[in-house]
Amino acid sequence: MPKLPDATPRLILKVAIPVPLYRLFDYYAPPDVTESSLSPGIRLEVPFGAGKKIAYLIEAGTNSEIAPEKLKPIVRILDSKSLLSTKDIRLLHWASQYYHHPIGEVFSSAFPATLRSGKTAILPLQPCYVLTALGKATDSEQLKRSPKQQALLAYFQSHHPASLVEAELNNWDKNWRPALKALLAKSLIANTAAKIAYIPQLSGVNAHNTKSSFNEATQEDKGKLQLNPEQQIAIAAVIGELGKFAVFLLEGITGSGKTEVYMQVIRTVLERGQQVLVLVPEINLTPQLEERFRQRFSVAMTLSHSNLTDKQRHAAWLNMQQGMSAILLGTRSALFTPMKRPGLIILDEEHDTSFKQQEGFRFSARDVAIMRGKLLNIPVLLGSATPSLESLHNAYQQRYRHLVLSQRAGSAVEPTLHLLDIRNKKLHHGLSEALINELRKVLASGEQVLIFLNRRGFAPTLICHACGWVARCRHCDANLVIHNYEKLLRCHHCGREQRLPPLCPACKTGGLMPLGLGTERVEGALRELFPDKTLVRLDRDTTQRKGSLERYLVQINDGKADIILGTQMLAKGHHFPNVTLVAIVDVDSGLFSIDYHATERLAQMITQVSGRAGRAEKSGRVILQTRHPDHALLNTLIREGYRRFADIALVERQHALLPPFSYQALLRAQADNANMPLAFLQAVATLAKMHKSGQIQILGPVAAPMEKRAGLYRYQLLFQCDKRSELQKCLAELIANIDSVAYAKKIRWSLDVDPVDL
């Protein structure tokens, strides 16, 4: 049927939809909207397939390659203007291109679940409490029989304006409700249901600290702390670049005062009325840092990590976006949170691989943070006791400013490291006689010991000593791990479990025997050896329940634990000031790996665990049990320290042309059979060889380090090039053509740019 042409062509919207497709989708705009009213980044609801989806506007125009009669109108517009700034939208486009990940999924990862599913972007009302006329006139002394009420009334009276919202009351004291209720009942305080816009304001040191269970040096609260010259240099360097883009690598051993540097810089950013984004690798690290920040700053602070409810994350995101909160403390997922007045980004423990997202949109929060800093024109501060080789290299190349804190702050002393040769030594559940004696001495003097073993469960292998049968996972290339306490065998890769068999299932006669070590087993041995000492085990099995890790940490810091035993959880930032001896039960398992990243991780792990010892004024010792006492890496590390190790490792990487002296991307493929992913990767390799320039190396396909996992067969193809732009060009062409490669739709593949493990 012939149609009359419209006077003005209808507006067509190109939108990004969170689906794994590398393209935009076109829709008609509603007839009554104009192009100028549609800002890129706004959320829209669109029909998609049989249902509807939330989409993000990329651009509005009048062109489409789709036939007009096939275009559908959108369902509705959700935002009148974009919740993201133009610069943050540019960041998402860059990330989508650099990581070769579909733009719709990249956009949706920047939003909290509530906004992703179309909820309105308004902050929930916060009850706000004000001082009444009676409250103003009342002398808080009159309430001295209930000190908490007295303190709260005094707090309101000293606060200008004399109104407080819940978040501020939480800052004052987590347990404010009973006192507030009493003051409401006495009509000293009234409830107004208004939403109060909280303007970040630095009102000096918070005078209303509550006693915290984390032992924090109280001197810093009183401002007595004398910064050492290195700290002063670091602080001045960062402050000097506020308002500009610059990257700083703050390298300082544990306890050297990095956090103090962060806080001093943050103070200046807050004084400028700007916001700070602080990223840490793990949720578990937020409480101690939060506590220190709260003691120091009386500004609104927001937490964002995966343990929050959707509602809390919604509020956290909007609080930053609307500029009501001054500091955001969060994990990797908080990276994209918008800031109304961005001032600074800090990444603590920058070397930690938790900053790399390992599934879906595989991005490095460190690298994206740096790009974000560049776009927002603000400094990025990376801190670590054990900087990644990439960051050190960048510092040596003067792309980053290198700031070094070389000594422990205050009077704390550095720990000393010793290798303990356990060749031909009798081991008692992994513990040598010499180590047991050391433990005995330290425990007898009432000090704490920390024992590190990076494997949970009782033992990693169950073997029949008659026929040699080994308990294997049927779905993975892996042994089942014995969990003796639960009487289970569990696969640590796919999670499958079975009862612990009483007899060998193969020969039906042989007795079964555990082989190797897990924390559960060492716990048993230690309890037997030191029955009158208190032991706390920290691993994924003992800290599953919400709040349990926090409780253990309090117990340890209150001196109510003598032996602390655990996995890599111990290596991450927690402070154990009373520990004077650290024992690393088994360093050898990390020494010989085919992945070139392994030695870097091992050196970081040893150094980080060592850093837990002797943080206070007691000196600490670290004992490493090994069967390779002559190993070059171990010797460099314990005699000359992490930096020397890193410098040697960098030279090795340079000779082998490995990152950071080249760039890599890993294409992974998996399916429930071995043929298809292999054939797919072979075809991709052939295609790549047609497109590539001579400089790109294509290695593989080869089997993944664990060829079969959770029933899937896994293979990979590695791309390597010493020019990032060449590699990027090749990847872009491959991705553009990948759907035409055999089996592309029958298998699951993913591209990992700058992989952190191979």
- Which residues are annotated binding-site positions for Zn(2+)? 464, 467, 473, 476, 491, 494, 504, 507
Q: Single out the residue of 610, 542, 596, 608 nearest to residue 352, CA to CA.
A: 608
Binding partner of residue 96 among Zn ion, ligand ADP, none, CB under 5 to 8 Å per kind?
Answer: none
Minimum Å gap between C-beta 272 and ligand ADP is 22
Q: How many helical (H) and strand (E) elements, i.e. helices and strands, does the chain have?
A: 20, 32
Distances (CA, A) of 140 to 156, 176, 418: 10, 16, 58
Q: Single out the residue of 276, 326, 285 nearest to residue 305, CA to CA.
A: 285
Minimum Å gap between C-beta 681 and Zn ion is 23
> Which residue, 83 or 489, is less far from Zn ion as judged by CB?
489
Q: Does 464 bind Zn ion (CB under 5 A)?
A: yes
Binding partner of residue 256 among Zn ion, ligand ADP, none, CB under 5 to 8 Å per kind?
Answer: ligand ADP
Which residues have C-beta within 8 Å of that of residue 207, sequence separation ≥ 6? none
Are 328 and 313 within 8 A, CB to CB?
no
Minimum Å gap between C-beta 724 and ligand ADP is 32
- The interface region with Zn ion, picked from 64-72, 283-291, 467-475, 648-656 by CB under 5 A, is 467-475
> Which residue, 222 or 499, is less far from ligand ADP as judged by CB?
222
Residue 314 DSSP SS3 = helix
State whether the Cα torsion 428-431-437-440 is positive or negative: negative
- The interface region with Zn ion, picked from 87-95, 195-203, 486-494, 550-558 by CB under 5 A, is 486-494
Q: Does 512 bind Zn ion (CB under 5 A)?
A: no
Minimum Å gap between C-beta 250 and ligand ADP is 9
Binding partner of residue 507 among Zn ion, ligand ADP, none, CB under 5 to 8 Å per kind?
Answer: Zn ion
Q: Does 467 bind Zn ion (CB under 5 A)?
A: yes
- The interface region with Zn ion, picked from 505-513, 600-608, 673-681, 688-696 by CB under 5 A, is 505-513
Residue for token pair 């816009």: 197
CA dist., res. 517 & res. 533, Å (int): 22
Lay out the sheet containing 51-61: strands in order across.
25-28, 12-16, 51-61, 43-48, 76-77
Q: Does 480 bind Zn ion (CB under 5 A)?
A: no
* Residue 131 tokens, joined: 């001082």
Q: Does 504 bind Zn ion (CB under 5 A)?
A: yes
What does R_g of the chain's alpha carbons equal in angstroms? Answer: 29
Q: Does 627 bind Zn ion (CB under 5 A)?
A: no
CA dist., res. 535 & res. 530, Å (int): 9
Minimum Å gap between C-beta 417 and ligand ADP is 18
CA dist., res. 418 & res. 423, Å (int): 15
Minimum Å gap between C-beta 366 and ligand ADP is 18
Minimum Å gap between C-beta 254 and ligand ADP is 5
> Which residue, 142 or 509, is less far from Zn ion as judged by CB?
509
Longest C-alpha distance within the chain, in Å? 96
Q: Does 515 bind Zn ion (CB under 5 A)?
A: no
* Residue 28 tokens, joined: 């008609």
Using CB under 5 A, which of 19, 21, 413, 506 touches Zn ion? 506
Binding partner of residue 493 among ligand ADP, Zn ion, none, CB under 5 to 8 Å per kind?
Answer: Zn ion
Binding partner of residue 491 among ligand ADP, Zn ion, none, CB under 5 to 8 Å per kind?
Answer: Zn ion
Distances (CA, A) of 505 to 150, 175, 263, 500: 69, 56, 59, 11
Residue ranges that bind ligand ADP, judged by CB under 6 A: 217, 220, 225-228, 231, 252, 254-260, 409-410
Minimum Å gap between C-beta 466 and Zn ion is 5
Beta strands in 411-510 (DSSP E): 416-421, 427-428, 431-432, 448-452, 461-464, 481-483, 488-490, 497-499
Minimum Å gap between C-beta 503 and Zn ion is 8
Residues comprising the binding site? 464, 467, 473, 476, 491, 494, 504, 507
> Which residue, 343 or 573, is less far from ligand ADP as judged by CB?
573
- The interface region with Zn ion, picked from 244-252, 289-297, 315-323, 471-479 by CB under 5 A, is 471-479
**DSSP one-letter code for 30:** P
The per-residue b/e assignment along 218-231, b for 16 or more CB within 10 angstroms, e otherwise, is: eebbeeebeebebb
What residue ranges bind Zn ion (CB under 5 A)? 464, 466-467, 469, 473, 475-476, 491, 493-494, 504, 506-507, 510
